[in-house]
Structures are given as C-alpha cells and as structure tokens.
A = this chain, B = another copy of it.
Amino acid sequence: MNTDPSAAQKKLIADWQTLNRIFIRPEDDVSRQALVKYMEQILFGLHDFLQQHVGITEAVSLKNLAERFKETRIGRHPEKKLADVISQLVNEIAPHAVNVASPYFIGHMTSAIPYFMVHLKTITAALNQNMVKIETSKVVSIVEKQVIAKLHRLIYGMDEAFYREHVQSPSTSLGCFTEDGTLANITALWVARNRLMPPDGDFNGCEVEGLAAGLKAYGIDRCMVLVSRLGHYSLRKAAGVLGIGNRNIVAVDVDRHNRMDLKALAKTMAELQATQGRTRIMALVGIAGTTETGSVDPLPELADICARHDLFFHVDAAWGGPTLMSEKYGHYLRGIEYADSVTIDGHKQLYMPMGCGMVYFKDPHVLDHIAYHARYIARPGSVDLGIKSIAGSREANSLVLASALQIMGSRGYALLIEHGIKTAQAFADAIRQRALFELVSPPQLNILTYRVCPPPFRDRLKSAGPAQRRALNACLNMMNRNIQVLQREAGNSFVSRTTLYENNSEEDPLVVLRAVIMNPMTTSTILNRILDEQEAIYRQNLHPEADP
C-alpha cells in the first residue's frame, strides 16, 4: 500500500471503466479472494479491537477528534481505494468509536449482538430489496408479513384461524417495521389520532382535513395522551409531530415501584371528565420496561380502564417486549394482549443490529387509518407494504429478524433475557451489600438504578426534614454526576446516569446511576469490578469534600 497520500491520490482518477467494474462483482479468483479478505478484516479486525476497551466520550478528546474532521469539500477524484477505506475504518475510526459490545458497557440499551447478525445484515445489503413495494422485494415482503405475524402472535396470541386469515392477507396488516421505537410510537399515536377523528358524514377525517378541522368536527378543544412520568421522550416528540402538542402528553405520577400510580391516573381522568368531552383522551400509554428503571406499568388495570372508557390503549414495550418469550418472566407483561398497539424494538432485546423498530396492532384493519397510495406504486389492493407505514423506502430488516428467530428459537432469546434479569438481581444484591451505595430502583426486568450515598449521608437522610433532605440530595447529585463522568472518561466501563424524582416532585431530583444488563458476557464479577472502580473514584476524587 502506498503511504504517501499525494502519490496515492495522483493514481486515483475517476474513469468510466473503473466505475463500471465496481458494479460487477469481480469474477476472477484473485479479485474474489481480495473481497473475501476484506470481509475477514472487517469481521476480525474490528472484533479484535472491540475486545480491548469501552472508550466513550472524553470531552477534550472529542474536541481534538472533531478537529480532524473539518474538511467539507467533497474530493473531485477518489481519495482512497476500498482496501484503504477499510484499513482506515478499522485502524483510525473504530478505535474512537464506542465499544458497545463490551461487557463493561452497561449504560445504554445497545449491546453486543450475536456475530451472525453481521452476516444477516450483509445479506440484506447485498440483496438491497426495497420493502416499499412488492416490485422491489417480492418474496421478502412475504417473509416480512410472516415475521410480523409471528411477533403479533407472541403478543396477542389469537387463534390459528386468525393468523391463517391475516398472515399473508394483502388487505390487512398486523403491524409494520419502522426505523426505531420513536417512529413506532409515532405510528401508534398517528393511528390513535385518526381513529379519534375518523371520517363521518361531510367530514373526511383528520388525516385528510387536518387536526383543527377534526377537533372542530368532533367538538373537542384539546386531546391528550396519558403516560407515566417515566414515559419515553419519543411520546412527547410524537405529540409534537402529530400536531397534538407535546404539552398534551400528560405525565401521570408513579408509585414507589416506578409504575403508573392508578390513583393518580383516576384523579387525572376525573379532572378531564369534568370538561364534558371538550378535552379528550386520545390514548392511554402503558410502559413495559421503562427506559430509566425497567419497570412495567400495571397493564391489566390500564387495559380495564381503557375498555371501560373506550380509550385507545398503547403499550410501549420497546424494551420489555421480548420478555414475552420467557416462560419464567413473560407474565410480567400480562395485559399487553389487550393493547390496541404495541411498540417493540428489535435492536434492543432481540439483539438485532441498529434500525429495527416495530409496531403491532390488535385490529388488522386499523392501519387503514394511515393508508397512502400513489399512481406508480402502492395501488389500492396491492401487497405493497409501503401503503401503511410512515416510511416509504425501507431496507429488509425483517429478513434479519426472521432468520434470527430461526437461529435462536424463542428459548434462546428467553435464556438471554432470563440471564439479564437474574444478573441484575445479583447486581442489586451486591449494591445493597456495599455501604457506599444505595439501591434506588431494584430491577423488575434487567434495569436498575442506584447511587453513591456514603453512610454519613444515609444516616442524616433518615432523620432529615424536607429542606435538609433536599440539600443533602443536591450534594449527592453532584457527587454522582461527577463519579459517572469520571468513570466514563477513564474509559474502562460505562454506566449511564439519569434523574428520577422523589415523590414525583420536580423539586426533589435524584441523580442516579443506571445499569442495563443485557450483554450475556456481563457477569457478576464484571459488575463488582465496576462498583470497585466507582468506589475508587469516590475515594480518590470526592472523599474529602464528601462528608456532609
């Protein structure tokens, strides 16, 4: 490889013959072997590196890094050949990426994925089908309908006759793939909005005439979505996008297990009922695995309330959905089968590569509320999947999921999920046993929060009045913020942080450390090392000033 960039550049000139060749995969043995060699470099070059560290963000290094990526002109001629680009990615980019696959990376809902996922994604790229229409996907649209039916059955468990009827029906849809959970939640609330203001007589429906016309036609001043305080921020975004207004995502208080408080919900609903229908509840959202604490709302009770008041019931199971595959813990999600819509993220606990959101609907016709046609594709009556989805062109991530389910079996996924829950419980025990730490939210699924709370603080908190308590917590918040940042920047391990609110009060924020235990390589030994490191950081950096 020529290492003198100017010399290398001189040699690279865009010409038609070279260009034409890159569209035809080389057939001679030498070239074929080169392409395979690159794949080997990608599979193992990256892998070897990724085993070494976690490496998140150090503000300084980030700024230095940014300095290297400031050229904003597109080079006229090729700057690099594929081999050099791959070397650059492996040797210069990857070392500054985040090793989300590290068992020490327990801060977010992104983790190691099985290595076969990379192969499956490669197939998807090589086939390059476009799921928007059958004319650019054919059998892959059929595979997608099947895998959607499989997940629908996991959630709703309707009978065989139901699935026989709908699995490959061109006129009905059991769900759709989206880029992520945010777009899945947007899709669910989009349907809910249109179902609240459907066509009626002269009124052509909210989708056609607009939200203002819809509200007027139905005599509504305002519509709201109720969700617990721990609802994902994508719900606010959805309300903003859909024209509902994000202040109309009403946060209902949570109980001490971080689940929606049913009394608080009843109170909120009573207040709304006093408006005599001028303020309407567009949807009630239950969460199956909150982002921050992994808690599951009381779904059967929420379902019951929705049934009694004829409300659209959405369950955000982006995180917790795959728990349904566990015979041991699936019952945590009991009640999800009553949901009108359910969000699941494939790139979370189905261990898919990024970019696999999904939304499921109980009623196979309800997606008609958001159907769109065009003159050249997606004509009425066609199987084109793009008719009922927020996106148009889409890659075939469904093919990856369909294959992964075959390779893993539901039992395989269940083992991963059960391991995560058990390991999180063991981690909670380890936290309880250490004097320096306080477990803030024990894990129901595989997420927990805790904080550094030195014994002197803990003693004072026990007897403190509200004002003193607030002052102590403010100090602890600063301490935990510092520890999290220092640990992150040391680059050995990564625990995230978030803010919970004591007694649902915005005036009583608790900064907590948050651990998401999904990587099967994350063992109790590793978790204890992470706690050791936090203790060490505390002693080295914060101890002197930490005494209250």
Fill in one digit per residue for A207-219: 1 if any B CB lies within 8 Å of its CB, else 0.
1111111010000
A442–chain B nearest beta-carbon distance, Å: 18
A97–chain B nearest beta-carbon distance, Å: 5
A390–chain B nearest beta-carbon distance, Å: 7
CA A508 – CA B154 in complex, angstroms? 49
Interface status of A76 (Cβ within 8 A of chain B): yes
Residues of B within 8 A of A93 (CB): 139-140, 143, 399
Q: How many residues of A contact B (CB 8 A)?
A: 184
**A25–B44 contact, CB under 8 A?**
yes
A349–chain B nearest beta-carbon distance, Å: 13
**B110–A209 contact, CB under 8 A?**
no
* CB contact under 8 A between A211 and B211, given known A44-B32, A125-B122: yes
Interface status of A455 (Cβ within 8 A of chain B): no
Per the 8 Å Cβ criterion, residues 225-246 of A in contact with B are: 232-234, 236-237, 239-246
Interface status of A394 (Cβ within 8 A of chain B): yes
A542–chain B nearest beta-carbon distance, Å: 21
**B100–A129 contact, CB under 8 A?**
yes
CA A133 – CA B108 in complex, angstroms? 10
Interface status of A82 (Cβ within 8 A of chain B): yes
CA A240 – CA B80 in complex, angstroms? 44
CA A70 – CA B154 in complex, angstroms? 15
**A72–B416 contact, CB under 8 A?**
no
A26, A107, A393 interface centre (most CB from chain B within 10 Å):
A393
Residues of B within 8 A of A237 (CB): 372, 390
**A347–B242 contact, CB under 8 A?**
no
* CB contact under 8 A between A212 and B211, given known A66-B168, A154-B74, A167-B72: yes
What is the oligomeric copy number?
Answer: 2
* CB contact under 8 A between A182 and B393, given known A130-B100, A207-B245, A376-B498: yes
* CB contact between A179 and one of B96, B179, B206, B374 (< 8 Å): that residue: B179
**A35–B119 contact, CB under 8 A?**
yes
Fill in one digit per residue for A343-376: 1 if any B CB lies within 8 Å of its CB, else 0.
0010100000111010000000000001011111
Interface status of A457 (Cβ within 8 A of chain B): no
Interface status of A309 (Cβ within 8 A of chain B): no
A69–chain B nearest beta-carbon distance, Å: 4
* CB contact under 8 A between A14 and B411, given known A212-B211, A390-B182: yes
Interface status of A101 (Cβ within 8 A of chain B): yes
* CB contact under 8 A between A129 and B75, given known A123-B89, A345-B393, A347-B393: no
Residues of B within 8 A of A222 (CB): 210, 212
**B80–A244 contact, CB under 8 A?**
no
* CB contact between A355 and one of B79, B355, B377, B411 (< 8 Å): that residue: B355
* CB contact between A241 and one of B89, B137, B390 (< 8 Å): that residue: B390
* CB contact between A135 and one of B56, B126, B137, B140 (< 8 Å): that residue: B56
Residues of B within 8 A of A291 (CB): 376
**A122–B412 contact, CB under 8 A?**
no
* CB contact under 8 A between A142 and B182, given known A78-B407, A136-B98, A233-B373: no
Interface status of A473 (Cβ within 8 A of chain B): no
CA A403 – CA B82 in complex, angstroms? 9
Which one of A16-24, A294-302, A424-432 contacts B? A16-24
CA A408 – CA B13 in complex, angstroms? 9
5 shortest A-B CB distances, which residue pairs?
A243-B243, A210-B245, A211-B243, A354-B395, A96-B139
Q: List 13 A-B contacts (CB under 8 A).
A: A23-B113, A46-B126, A70-B168, A75-B410, A80-B407, A89-B123, A107-B135, A121-B121, A125-B353, A179-B179, A190-B241, A241-B390, A376-B496
